[in-house]
Amino acid sequence: MSRVDELRLITRVAQMYYLDAVKQSDISERLHIPQARVSRLLKRALDENIVRISITPPPGVFAELEAGLRDRFGIDEVIVAEAMSERDEAILAAIGDAAAHFLESTIADDEVIGISSWSLSLLRTVDAITPIKRVQASKVVQTFGGMGNPTMQSHAQHIVTRLAQLTNAKAQFLPAPGVAGSPESRRILVNDPFVEETLRCFAEVTLALVGIGSMTPSYMLVNSGNAFTREELDELAEHGAVGDMGLRFFDAQGAPVITPLNDRVISMTLAEIKAAKRVVAVAGGSRKVPAIRAAMLGGYIDVLITDHFTAGQLLAGGPPPKL
């Protein structure tokens, strides 16, 4: 077969498949060629530039930003939501809705879901989820101590209880504060049978839902009574900390920052987060850009759900140089 005849056949197969929506098996039958050859000819159509595929994202879809972040930081998936403004409230609404849709589509049967208690982005996510009747998750595990200021504690309980209801799962609470008064207090608390039972569940988590904190904690965390003081945060910053997940702090490269303050925290550790089968981070806002970047560089997250303002800043800055 001459090259022009070969190209003519490739073009005909491509026309039938892409323009006329004819299935490969039907092309095989109509042109009297093996289906395996049809598949090879379609690949040739792309290689020879006979077929050129272009994708035109509709308004509100940021495919280039998502691809850029996936490629630059090497994470599995990025979802970039359109926020109406750079105000915190607009960003929380956008990423909460996007995360809710993602979870509604991907939560599987028998999933053990870990979720942090004091994250505004996760609170918005849970409130935006509709009941997922198609799945029967196993447990929803509270991964950050939820006891604190009684006026705020209801938020922590609501996140876990509501997500368990939505996924038809059992709620596993962590009946302890996120920050103990001293290392000695923490040792006593974690030996409580109910606390100990929940801590053991951390190793079972298949889907960890995490917020990413900056060195300026959210009002929800501050008002809960489970935040460090400004002086303590400054001390962490002096040791290189740029952000945290459940008050487990890390530096600009994502390496854990370990200080005596760590001995007062009751939450999933960074190692336990990284060990989860799938880690989904929901975070956005300019003040969180260094922390989000560091969390990706540290390899803690598999999926990032953020807003288009934050995504642009993450790409513009790029990862810091390796030390």
- pLDDT tens, residue by residue, 254-309: 999 999 999 999 999 999 999 999 999 999 999 999 999 999 999 999 999 999 99
pLDDT of 321 higher than 80 = no
User: What's the pLDDT at 234?
Assistant: 95
Give residue 49's region: left, alpha or beta (phi > 0; psi -120 to 50): left
- pLDDT tens, residue by residue, 94-126: 999 999 999 999 999 999 999 998 899 999 999
Pairing of strands 278-282, 207-210: parallel
Q: How far is CA 162 from the centre of its chain?
A: 19
User: What's the pLDDT at 290?
Assistant: 97
pLDDT of 160 higher than 70 = yes
Give the type of residue at 56: T
User: What's the pLDDT at 151?
Assistant: 65
User: What's the pLDDT at 104?
Assistant: 94
User: What's the pLDDT at 88?
Assistant: 93
* Averaged pLDDT, 19-35: 94
Contacts of 60 (CB under 8 A, 6+ apart): 82
Give the type of residue at 304: L
Provide the 10 A C-beta neighbour count for residue 101.
17
User: What's the pLDDT at 319?
Assistant: 46
User: What's the pLDDT at 323?
Assistant: 37
In angstroms, how far apart are the furthest CA atoms of the chain?
83
Lowest mean pLDDT among 163-172, 177-186, 212-221: 212-221
pLDDT of 322 higher than 50 = no
Percent residues over pLDDT 90 in the chain: 83
User: What's the pLDDT at 320?
Assistant: 44
44-77 burial by CB neighbour count: b if 16+ within 10 A, else e? bbeeeebbeeeeeeeeeebeebbebbeeebebeb
Question: Predicted confidence band at 1 (pLDDT cuts at 50, 70, 90)?
Answer: low
User: What's the pLDDT at 224?
Assistant: 80
Question: Predicted confidence band at 58 (pLDDT cuts at 50, 70, 90)?
Answer: confident
Lowest mean pLDDT among 61-65, 135-139, 225-229, 239-243: 225-229
- pLDDT tens, residue by residue, 123-138: 999 999 999 888 999 9
pLDDT of 209 higher than 80 = yes
Interatomic CA distance for residues 8 and 2, integer angstroms? 10
